[in-house]
Amino acid sequence: MPSEDQKITPIRKTEEAGDGNGEFARLLAESERSLAEGELIRGRVIQVTNDEILVDIGYKSEGMIPRSEFNHSPDRLPQAGQEIDAIVDRREDASGYVVLSHEKARRIRAWDAIEVAFKDNVAVKGKVLERVKGGLSVDIGVRAFLPGSLADIRPLKNLDVLRGRELEFRIVSFDKKRGNIVLSRRALMEEVAEAKKAEAAQALADGRTLHGVVKNLTEYGAFVDLGGIDGLLHVTDISWGRLGHPSEALQVGQEVEVKVLKFDAESGRISLGMKQLKPDPWQDLPAHYPVGARVRGKVVSLTDYGAFIELEEGVEGLIHVSEMSWTKKVKNPAKLLSVGDTVEAVIADVNPETRRLSLSLRATEPNPWEQLAEKYRIGDRVQGVVRNLTDFGAFVEIEEGIDGLVHISDMSWGRRVKHPSEVLKKGDQIQAVLTAIDVENRRISLSIKEFRPNEWEEFSREHQPGDVVDGQVAKVADFGVFVRLPLGLEGLMHVSETDVLRGQKLSDVFSEGDPVRVRILRIEVDEQRIGLSMRDVPQPDPAELAAAAAAATAESEAAPEGGSAPEESVSDAAAQAEPDAAPEGATPEEPVAEEPVAASTEASEASVETPKTDD
């Protein structure tokens, strides 16, 4: 093989020779010169046959290159008249031709060029030939090796996708003696990507509008190729409207126009937006959707607390469960609405700052509570059906879907009612007096005690201050003792009106259920108070007091207004009571009933505050 500095021997153009004998002799001498094997020469193609290529090399014999040297690259096959480089393999063969090799000459040229490219760090072009162990074989003039790890920036699962492709590479290893060349496509791609990233970074100022191509879709957004650098278009920044997945608005390969929302030069992260290129529908929403306006929209989502209605792209409003019906307590919106339904609603509230729009479905219909307030006045008598019993009262339906509450304190004038089932049962048809209407909170208060005897008036007719009566201890407090009297009423015996010695506690002397004989000090019917005293009142023997107390208790439980419900009905009503199912129009909390008390003397009235108790 000739050295790298070997010069190419040019062909001699005989047609330029003169006709003189001296010139002929010179040409003859040159034709008879010797050719050294391995010499790099240049000649002109004379003829191309099926087996060989004949070349004029300015020698007495023509040169011959086997055509098989071009089988792997038919596009390099020379044409007649074309100059070509070759290496002398043998001076003459059996046919008299000088055997040449163009492939060897090409290799010498290629190695020289590759060495220069390696030293100057210049990219080379080559064609991927085939897959080999650990990578690919590439023709860059000579065969070179491309490791699979250096074939792309990202690992390629299938290297065969590069076969047959003309690509550019960076030479990362070069050993001419061993004939070893290692290429890297990844290094060149990273250089190109960094250059593009630096170039793109100059144009990635926040707020700039760019064009790109959707590269990939994920559940949380889309990656957009901006020309060598990728940006993330989050699903919430694709449209002002609701999107379940980016594929509902985008597809891979789609060209899009995006706005740079944020560019982090250090991490290289780019946040993009599409909806920001359109006006924000919430900016002037109050002008388009004033409070009180009727609108139509489509149900796009249902939750436990309401339904979301899309009025236009990017504008959704919530119909809360409390705004779905005037009279019904809606627990599951899916029982009234379905996704995709078109509904009519009324704008209840608009808040552009928090991007919240409240809608009302019930506002499309007249408010039955306002109609009720126009129909009835406080004190009117109404009829209804007992729908439910709770610990604190009974709910009575007086209009379709509208219930009023009869509190236990409004079931009797003076007799203590421990549970509504003592007076009413579910399904009873009753009369009641309307005592309060709260349209805003949708509550109605009723009373049925007006249709029953007034125990206070009856007691005041039968008893006078100074009368001695028998009773039973109902409750013991620090300031006095409550005594249960006939007709179910209770009076207060202040601590100063007892026989308890100084320093003793009332609870050490009295217990609930103890019989006691007391004198009436005062009866206040309007205030529902009775003052009692046991001072200077002889206490009979326990057997007599117990019998009198039992009689008083029986009298108080006799229910003069018609009697309590039968035992079976009472238990049934109690079992059917649903404390947690208070209708929307009922008072949720039981008001505290004031105990009937009375002062024994003017001094005791001044010193003792009227207590309020709950049994």
Distance of CA 53 to the CA centre of its chain: 75
Q: What is the mean pLDDT of residues 56-63?
A: 79
Candidates 378, 287, 365, 289; CA nearest to 324 is: 365
Which fold, 368-451? OB fold (Dihydrolipoamide Acetyltransferase, E2P) (2.40.50)
Q: Is residue 521 over pLDDT 90?
A: yes
Tell me how far apart the alpha carbons of residues 84 and 45 are, in angstroms, rounded to a whole number: 7
Q: Domain residues of the chain, as ranges?
A: 14-107, 121-190, 203-277, 285-356, 368-451, 455-560+594-605
User: Is the pLDDT confidence value at 396 over 60?
Assistant: yes
- Check residue 615 and give its pLDDT: 33
Q: Whole-angstrom Cα distance, residue 299 to residue 529? A: 60
Are the C-beta atoms of 234 and 220 separated by less than 8 Å?
yes
> 323-327, 364-368, 483-487, 581-585: which range is least confident on average?
581-585
Mean pLDDT for 18-27 is 55
Q: Report the range of poorest mean pLDDT among 61-65, 395-399, 403-407.
A: 61-65
Q: Is the pLDDT of residue 62 over 70?
A: yes
In 506-597, alpha helices (H): 506-509, 542-556, 567-576
| Per-residue model confidence (pLDDT) at position 552 | 59
pLDDT value of position 188 = 85
Residue pLDDT, tens place only, 563-614: 333 333 333 333 333 333 344 433 333 333 333 333 333 333 333 333 333 3
pLDDT tens digits, 253-267: 888 888 888 887 777
pLDDT at 9 over 70: no
Q: Of residues 571 and 17, which shows the higher confidence score?
A: 17
Mean pLDDT of the region 316-329: 87
Query: What CA–CA distance (Å, rounded) separates 411 from 391?
Result: 13
Nearest to 99 by CA among 138, 66, 131: 66
| In this structure, CATH architecture of domain 455-560+594-605 | Beta Barrel (2.40)
pLDDT at 97 over 70: yes
- pLDDT computed for residue 210 by the predictor: 83
Question: Which CATH topology does 121-190 take?
Answer: OB fold (Dihydrolipoamide Acetyltransferase, E2P) (2.40.50)
Does position 72 have pLDDT exceeding 70, yes or no? no
Span between the terminal Cα atoms of the chain, in Å: 120
Question: What is the reported pLDDT for 358?
Answer: 92
pLDDT for the residue 549: 60
Q: Is the dihedral of CA 429, 432, 437, 438 positive or negative?
A: negative
pLDDT digits (tens, 9 = 90+) for 379-389: 888 889 999 89
Which of 82-96, 540-554, 601-615 has the weakest average pLDDT?
A: 601-615
Contact 192, 169 (CB under 8 A): no
Tens digit of each residue's pLDDT (9 = 90 or more) over 270-285: 888 888 888 877 877 8
Pairing of strands 230-234, 269-273: parallel
CA distances from 384 to 388, 397, 431 (A): 12, 5, 7
Q: Averaged over 366-373, what is the pLDDT?
A: 82
pLDDT confidence of residue 205: 66
CATH number for region 285-356 = 2.40.50.140
Q: Name which residue leads in pLDDT, 506 or 102.
A: 506
Tell me whether the CATH fold assigned to 121-190 matches the one assigned to 203-277: yes
**What pLDDT band is residue 553 in, cutting at 50, 70 and 90?**
low
Confidence of residue 30 (pLDDT cuts 50, 70, 90): low
Could you tell me which residue, 553 or 247, shows the higher pLDDT? 247
CATH superfamily for domain 203-277? Nucleic acid-binding proteins (2.40.50.140)
| Per-residue pLDDT tens over the stretch 164-202 | 888 889 888 888 778 788 998 888 888 887 777 676 666
Class of residue 274 by CB neighbours under 10 A (exposed 0-12, middle 13-18, buried 19+): buried
Backbone angles phi, psi at 276, to 5 degrees: -70, -15
What is 459-493 written as a DSSP string? HHHH--TT-EEEEEEEEE-SSEEEEE-GGG-EEEE
> What pLDDT, on a 0 to 100 scale, did the predictor assign at position 94?
66
Least confident stretch, 307-316, 390-399, 537-546: 537-546
pLDDT at 107 over 50: yes
Question: What is the percent of the chain where pLDDT is above 90?
Answer: 10
Q: What is the pLDDT of residue 461?
A: 84
Instruction: Give the Cβ contact number of residue 219 at 10 Å.
Output: 9
Classify domain 14-107 by CATH number: 2.40.50.140
- pLDDT score, position 568: 34
Mean of all residue pLDDT scores within the chain? 78
* Complete DSSP assignment for 278-329: S--TTTTHHHHS-TT-EEEEEEEEEETTEEEEEEETTEEEEEEGGGS-SS--
Mean pLDDT along residues 77-83: 82
pLDDT band at residue 545 under the 50/70/90 scheme: low
pLDDT one-digit tens code per residue, 222-253: 898 887 678 888 988 888 777 778 888 888 88
